[in-house]
């Protein structure tokens, strides 16, 4: 997990192009999603983190985004019913 605020814009672009980061997450809400998600683009820089893989996001107890990862979110929701 890499914090957005720890990276320069050029470093972020480099990591995205090299596929070193493929997902972004909201540190406060514990939600991860695709880099192009409209919901994720609205989050504050200090709350954004980047992940190399979905497994890494799940390892940090983040849940899938309900907008860009609808099917994964539905499956997660079924698995986490109380």
Task: Output the CA–CA distances (angstroms, integers) from residue 81 to 34, 50, 63, 78, in the order listed.
Answer: 24, 27, 13, 6
Structural domain total, the chain: 1
**Rounded percentage of the chain residues whose pLDDT exceeds 70:** 99
Q: How far apart are CA 29 and CA 63, in angstroms?
A: 9
pTM (2 d.p.)? 0.90
For 33-68, the pLDDT digits (tens) are: 999 999 888 999 999 999 999 999 999 999 999 999
pLDDT value at position 82?
Answer: 63
Pick from 60, 54, 59: which is nearest to 73 by CA?
A: 54
Provide the residue range defining the domain that includes 70. 2-79
Number of H helices, E strands in the chain: 4, 5
CATH of residue 48's domain is 3.40.10
């Amino acid at each position: 997990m890499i914090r957005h605020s720890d990276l320069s814009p050029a470093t972020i672009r480099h990591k995205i192009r090299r596929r070193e980061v493929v997902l972004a997450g909201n540190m406060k809400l514990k939600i991860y999603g695709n880099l192009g998600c409209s919901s994720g683009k609205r989050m504050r820089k200090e709350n954004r983190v980047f992940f190399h893989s979905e497994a890494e996001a799940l390892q940090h107890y983040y849940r899938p985004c309900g907008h860009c990862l609808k099917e994964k979110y539905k499956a997660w929701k079924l698995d986490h019913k109380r």
